[in-house]
Amino acid sequence: MLFRDNGRGIDPQVLDKGRDGHWGLAGMRERATKIVGQLKILTSPTAGIEVQLSIPSRIASEFSLAQHGSE
């Protein structure tokens, strides 16, 4: 899964440590880890942000079967 924008990016310090009282980035990283996924966040002040989540195919298959039944 890939998301991209062309905004102003994220400050490197915020990307690394998050912001006090905000759990967005930390939550994304935690959830990716729980499903044995890999989360990459690339940012640039002139190119915006790119967020990429990669998960093992077996996890994706299990999720798909659970959502759509075992047809």
What are the chain's domains? Answer: 2-68 (3.30.565.10)
pTM value is 0.72
Rounded average pLDDT over 54-64: 83
| Residue 49 contacts residue 24 (beta carbons within 8 Å) | no
pLDDT at 68 over 80: no
pLDDT at position 70 is 54
* Cα distances (Å, whole numbers) of residue 27 to 20, 33, 58, 59, 71: 13, 10, 22, 19, 33
Mean pLDDT value across the chain: 88
Tokens found for residue 24: 């967005």
Confidence of residue 31 (pLDDT cuts 50, 70, 90): very high
